[in-house]
Amino acid sequence: MEYYEAVNKRRMVRDFKSQPVDLKTVKRILSAGLKAPTNDHMRNWEFVVLTDGALIEKVIKKIPKKVSDKRVDFILKSWRLKDDCQQKMYRDAIPKQHEMLSKSNCLILPLFKHEKNWLEPKNISSLNAFASIWCCIENILLAAAAEGLGCALRIPLSGEAEYVGRILNLPENYAFPCYLAIGHPEDGVVLPKPIDRDLESKLHLNAW
């Protein structure tokens, strides 16, 4: 798939077939991640790849399996979301957090090496390692799209990262910014339409 085609086709997918993802394909996708720019030039990234269903269920145990419509309404109200498109996206995403990670058959934890107290940065440079891993993740998302696969992301909430770290014996000086599910999209899935922004409305030449 040509690069710009992959960029245009890349979408978050939260409905997957129960079809395994070939490990060779996963390795190609992660290799693309390793080509991303890195803050210290060392690419201090690691990838924990989970394909065992029982282990995936154990790792995502802290994520609620079901979220009621009432709970979703409460969350969106507390976030003060007013845009209809944004609300539709979250109404689709919030109830599927557990299922999308479970059904993808390939759950990846991208880890980055960090200094102590990285969540309490002294300045913007203190977040370089965190920013760098997201460059890596974007490469992974585009590579997955080029392979005809879908991805879903979840940012770990309070207590989840610590729990996963204990289960998988992750080093204390490495952190994962998200759960990353890669899988075969379910046939006929209707995805909420994202907000389409025209470049000209976002482009500022030489000044704002």
For residue 150, which of 21, 50, 13, 20 has the smallest C-alpha distance?
13
Which helix (H) or strand (E) element contains residue 107?
A: strand 107-113
The per-residue pLDDT string of the chain (208 residues; one tens digit each, 9 = 90 and over) reads 899 999 999 999 999 998 999 999 999 999 999 999 999 899 999 999 999 999 999 999 999 999 999 999 999 999 998 899 999 999 999 999 999 999 999 999 999 999 878 888 889 999 999 999 999 999 999 999 999 999 999 999 989 999 999 999 999 999 999 999 999 999 988 787 888 899 999 999 999 9
Q: What tokens does 27 get?
A: 């390795």
Distance CA 119, CA 203 (A): 32
Ordered structural domains, the chain, with CATH: 3-185 (3.40.109.10)
* Alpha-carbon gap, residue 60 to 54, rounded angstroms: 10
pTM comes to 0.94
